[in-house]
Structure 1
Amino acid sequence: MRLTKLALAAVLGATLASQAVAGGFAPVVVEPAPAPVVVTEPEAPRSTFGILLPLALLGGLVALAVANEDEDSES
């Protein structure tokens, strides 16, 4: 019985001691609070395609109109 009490005390002591030193002996490091994140939306990229496409279509329509006029005058 005496050996059982001694073994139980050793197991209990080892369990409590391991929990007591679980954090180690290093000093506590407090990290500074992160700075607030500011989200800025980027400017929309400018595109020349928005003006070139209508101009190309207009040029194509003018070319079609000129081509149709030449066919009408020959007949």
Structure 2
Amino acid sequence: MRILKSLVLAVAAATVAGQAIAGGFAPAVPEPAPTVVVEPEAPRSTWGVVLPIVLLGGLIALAVANDSDSEDDTPAM
């Protein structure tokens, strides 16, 4: 019975000792602080409004210039 108590005590001590040195001898590495990413504001541009207006004006001018209803374009017979 005395050997059984010694054996149980040795197993318990080995289990506790194994958990105590489970981390090893390496120094603890602290976690880095979280970084905050701030996105810069997008620069505002007036081309977003001006460009479609200019293109629309160009298309209207092109449509007026290519009008085929004028009498100057009719071939002479």
TM-score over 0.5 (shorter chain): yes
- With structure 1 as the length reference, what TM-score do the two structures score? 0.57
Task: For structure 1, list consecutive stretches of 5 or more residues without a partner in the other structure.
Answer: none
Matches within 5 A, 1:1-75: 1-43=1-43, 46=47, 50-64=52-66, 66-70=67-71
Give the aligned residue type for 1:5.
Answer: K
Paired positions, count: 72
Letter aligned with residue 22 of structure 2: A
Q: Distance in 2 between matches of 1:11 and 1:50?
A: 83
- Cα deviation for residue 50 of structure 1 reads 2.7
Q: Identity of paired residues, percent?
A: 40
| Alpha-carbon separation, structure 1, partners of 2:71 and 2:14 | 105
Q: Structure 2: which amino acid aligns with 1:28?
A: A
Q: CA deviation at 1:26?
A: 2.0
Distance between the aligned counterparts of 2:41 and 2:71, measured in 1? 53
Shift of 1:17: 0.7
For the aligned residues, what is the CA RMSD?
3.4
Alpha-carbon displacement from aligned partner over 1:15-72 (angstroms, at most 9, x marks no partner):
11111111222222335534432221333675685355313321232135x312338x
Which structure dedicates a bigger proportion of its chain to helix? 1
